[in-house]
Chain A
Amino acid sequence: MAQITLIEAVTQALAYEMKHDDSVVVLGEDVGVNGGVFRATQGLQEKYGELRVIDTPLDETTIAGLTVGLAVQGMKPVAEAQFEGFIYPMMEQIACHAARMRNRTRGRLTVPAVWRAPWGGGIRAPEHHSEANEHLFTNIPGLRVVLPSSPARAYGLLLAAIRDPDPVIFFEPKRIYRQYKEEVPDDGEALPLDVCFVLRDGTDVTLVTWGAQVKESLEAADELAKQGISAEVIDVATLTPLDFDTIAESVQKTGRCVIVHEAPKTAGFGAEIAARIAEECLYDLLAPVERVTGPDTHIPLFRLEMKYLPSVERIVDAAKRTLAAS
């Protein structure tokens, strides 16, 4: 079985679903002959034709609105925003229509669509190509926000997102698009949405994270283990609707929690998780909840961007602070 990267897993999932479901179409800028700027749609137009792999005019608003219309007519569109920094013109269509069509019409019309976007920093890209803006979507009711963190989860969660009867924002951590390979059988098996994945069991501290930071968090757990500290690592994967029970169960066990994300700290999605811990697990805590996040600044251009992103060292430090507190 072939070993594939995260971006290849995205392509594999799209190809599988296009092969097995005629209503699946892909649309966006450069998704056709060019196969997408990251090659996520490589080879799809050749296989499935221009009617199902659609190069659109260069307008994000158009892509987002077409996606709503296609989905209402019973297609399963997978739209690509070329970068998360260009997703803002799509937000009106996503927030005002995709996420509320079912509610508006009492279920008469629905939008089973996916918006994919390469997400996050760390690839030495130009301005507007490195944002972590998932929290701008997590406050929109009726929308799922999903972030895979490995090739296998990219494959399984994208299949689930396409099959889901409601709209999904699927942010792909581009920093780890090609970071490593793993075996991902092309068996069409979806992973469940709306659940967190416990990637590593531990007893002393819970590291809660998503996207590219899963890798740093796992490395931090390795480092902490060397120092005799047992860290549990949770990949949230679907931010909304949130599976808080898995997080609560872990925090009740460890009594300590470090939330790791690369978006700015204030009102980032870590704030929601910290608030939920305060509401539901306060008396289980042995130490204050820590957040390791980007600062409340714009992500700098690339000479400084690695100083912005959470590092293994910062995660280890935060975990050790929670242990020092109790």
Chain B
Amino acid sequence: MSIAAKFEIEYLQYLDAEGKEVRKDLPAFAKDLDHMVELYKLMLSTRVFDAKSIALQRTGKLGTYASCLGHEAAHVGIGSAMKPEDVLAVSYREYGAQLYRGVQPREVYMYWGGDERGNDYQKEPARHDFAWSVPIATQCLHAAGSAMAFKIRGEKRVAVCTIGDGGSSKGDFYGAINVAGAQNLPLVAVIVNNQWAISVPRKIQSGAPTLAQKGIAAGLFCIQVDGNDIIAVRKAMEDALERARNGEGGSVIEAVTYRLGDHTTADDARRYRGEQEVKDGWEREPMKRLRNWLVAKKVWDDAKEEAWKAECDEWMDNEVNAYLETKTQPVTAMFDYTFAEVPADLAKQRDYVLSLDQKAH
């Protein structure tokens, strides 16, 4: 028998659930403890932000919201590895990555609070990133198309898309990694495998032992990492970004994590998964291990934790106030961005809706 091709998928982890180093070859960025503290602080602020969002929804001040609880290492790992000129195309819960790139909490609140202006990210580099993409996996092709544009123009930029375990079942995901492999596009696709696609568990999505290996079929570099270990996520991202930037090909990274919360605030996960599983998920969650590791390195302690939490609370309160004080857009806003210029026929409809609105006031 001869073998046509042979593959294996590497699994990468630096910190175990308790924050013990499981390998000694820490990457360079992890030796910069100030930087690691910064990453931890952003993970913590992401968690504070998330709790604030849920509280806003529960008190009727926000529409349906998709929580990122438990994904902090994966998301911050992705965002912090990217260069400003790169482009990020997310689904709808990757706040840790987006906050790193300049999306403001008030913008997230505006989007989930029913105002399109939340997608008009004001700060670079988020300003040139894609907005939240609700139709599953469709954003992967936007990243691939962006990567194609970078290749055509000879720009040393990389497009990154993120997707869930469920999303990796869709053709758009396969289409994106397939064309990236076939045309050597600078694309990094990250599957944030949180084990659940609303109520459907990972095992129903695919018979493959890893989701990373889907990239093998596309001819991409593939790796599975502990998605709760930010060092592993960040390292895999850095390697993938560098390869892509140098024209050495795209990658699929599977970051294995766990969705500690409901799918969205409209979901009740108790309907379909047991308490023990969630308890186990909390044992492996990403904050604890990094905190333990930083405490052991003597660069973090309870006082710093409390002080930073207080700062985050203040930041989020400020953002919430800014959001709550935002006036609703004028009714004409629903017309004004349909085309670059409102066509004559549509202008008549706009004028009519405006007249109704003026009558109502």
Contact = CB atoms under 8 A, between A and B. Distances in A.
Interface of A: 25, 51-52, 54, 56-57, 59, 61-62, 64-75, 77, 89, 92-93, 96-97, 101-110, 141-142, 165-166, 194, 241-245
User: Max chain B CB contacts within 10 Å: which of A54, A56, A74, A106?
Assistant: A106
Contacts of A106: 116-117, 119-120, 333, 337
Given A73-B150, A241-B346, A243-B345, A103 B338 contact: yes
Nearest to B338: A142
A196 B216 CA distance: 51
Nearest to A74: B149
A165 B151 contact: no
B135 A69 contact: no
Contacts of A93: 138, 141
Contacts of A72: 130, 142, 145-146
B156 interface: no
B77 to A, nearest CB: 23
A61 to B, nearest CB: 5
A197 to B, nearest CB: 16
Nearest to A238: B343
Contacts of A101: 131
15 contacts: A59-B175, A62-B141, A65-B142, A92-B135, A96-B135, A102-B339, A102-B340, A103-B116, A105-B116, A105-B120, A105-B131, A106-B117, A110-B340, A141-B338, A166-B340
Contacts of B176: 62, 65
Given A25-B152, A65-B141, A244-B345, A73 B146 contact: yes
B205 interface: no
Contacts of B337: 102-103, 106-107
Contact of B138 (A97, A165, A243): A97
A220 to B, nearest CB: 28
Contacts of A104: 116, 119, 131
B142 A68 contact: yes
B6 to A, nearest CB: 24
B339 A109 contact: no
Contact of B143 (A69, A110, A166): A69
Contacts of A56: 179
Interface string B60-101: 000000000000000000000000000101000000000000
Contacts of B141: 61-62, 64-66, 68-69, 93
B148 interface: yes
Interface string B167-181: 000011001101100
A108 B151 contact: no
B182 A73 contact: no
- How many of chain B's residues touch chain A, expressed as a range? 35 or more
Contacts of A74: 149
Contacts of A61: 141, 171-172, 175
B121 interface: yes
Nearest to B120: A106
B312 interface: no
B44 interface: no
Contact of A69 (B116, B146, B344, B345): B146
A74 B130 CA distance: 13
A89 B143 CA distance: 18
Contact of A166 (B119, B140, B145, B339): B339
B113 to A, nearest CB: 15
B127 interface: yes
Contacts of A244: 345
B264 interface: no
B320 to A, nearest CB: 21
A194 B343 contact: yes
B163 interface: no
Contacts of B120: 105-108
User: Max chain B CB contacts within 10 Å: which of A77, A102, A109, A142?
Assistant: A109
B133 interface: yes
B148 A66 contact: yes
Contacts of B143: 69
Contacts of A89: 171
Interface string B340-361: 1001111000000000000000
A102 B338 contact: yes
A241 B182 CA distance: 38
A241 B347 CA distance: 11
B159 interface: yes
Contacts of A141: 338
B142 A59 contact: no
Contacts of A62: 141, 144, 172, 175-176, 178-179
A119 B209 CA distance: 44
Nearest to A108: B120
A72 to B, nearest CB: 7
B138 A96 contact: yes
A157 to B, nearest CB: 16
A70 B148 contact: yes
A87 B345 CA distance: 27
A242 B345 CA distance: 7
Contacts of A108: 119-121, 127, 131
Contact of B178 (A59, A110, A243, A245): A59
Given A106-B120, A244-B345, A57 B175 contact: yes
A57 B133 CA distance: 23
B116 to A, nearest CB: 6
B145 A69 contact: yes
B146 A70 contact: yes
User: Max chain A CB contacts within 10 Å: which of B87, B117, B143, B172?
Assistant: B172
A67 B130 CA distance: 14
Contacts of B121: 108
Contacts of B152: 25, 51-52, 75
A241 B149 contact: no
A58 B159 CA distance: 22
B140 A65 contact: yes
Given A65-B141, A101-B131, 12 more contacts: A59-B178, A62-B141, A65-B140, A65-B142, A72-B146, A92-B138, A96-B135, A103-B116, A106-B333, A107-B337, A108-B119, A108-B120
